[in-house]
Structure 1
């Protein structure tokens, strides 16, 4: 019975620059898969746009990315946009964001009897490859992410999340906490390609919700000028977290 299942919240962190239909589709795919295990009941999905301090080239202001995400999710009855991370003055490590949301979840469920709720990071298969980038992740953060929280990873194109799990000692140690979801109907919409199309005046209809397309036009986003934003700025994770560390030390 659903009442005996563990309440689960899915959290997706990222630029959402802009949010695409594929970003939202990941939540639906993940929820279906998680429910099929018989272990969890997904109670909420959270989209957490990164702050402006991330320093990624072409990143438009957080106020716009949050607004577009909210417009895109107007028809969802279980996925919401949270501004906490986007409002931070500096880039926030993914694990720190997860700690914040988990505290909020526990506070909400403290008066409810039954299994304690869990929080897992929802991501695409390309996310797992970021663990291999020197200096991008702290080893202890990967351990906490995989061991304490866990991930729900949706396959994307030809990427093989199984291999990424196999090649990481931290992920392999906690492979029972890493749910891999196969996407049989491929949708490889890339926010990078969407921005390129917008700069060139090409159609992005059916790649983004119409409400998001209207917002982009109203605010004149994703132009040649906006793509140059942060052009010479290193990604904040590479400067904030100090010297590169082995993820498996």
Structure 2
């Protein structure tokens, strides 16, 4: 791969792919937070799962009613939150206070340093969201916050761009040559995805349902990383199947 991440041979489909089944992820249940870690995080450490290229963290979080993450710091990391269900209240040291919900994408460039908190103010249901960290391509940037609301209908049976390196493009932007897409597909529908930048790989994460990528079947919360390829084919095996593609540089 040309960098520190050496895939575990047991989960390698070929020389240029790595498979992470949902049940093999790290797991922690703190009562108020039930979380699964695709890559090493907090008390979960797996030398074979430190990152996929510049994709450092993929956490699948469930925050209980009235609970949340207290104020804590970050620096020199691009942090993306994708709410799946419920509302999450965000406050940070830049003076931002916002609610993010399903259909929204939130991004923070931690840069020289920020602190923030995230709370589920709902009293009747948990919040489910994906928290993703990407190593930036430049350090010491001025911290920034952004969030957008996307039209979920625009990802029906196709891929909707939700993130890129370009502030002028669709979705949010980050300090990295990365592109994220979300898609919701009917059974037997699918598409081809072309890698956006030579040398990038793509990490696919199934949010709901089942997909076939190439010759690999992925079920809910399974992840598959592929590199040294120009494109991938995906097809939904179930109704209302949802997938996230993260197209990222492989070299740190």
Using the size of structure 2 for normalisation, the TM-score is: 0.28
Pick 1 or 2: higher relative contact order, CA cutoff 8 A, min separation 6: 1
Using the size of structure 1 for normalisation, the TM-score is: 0.28
**Structure that is richer in helix per residue:** 1
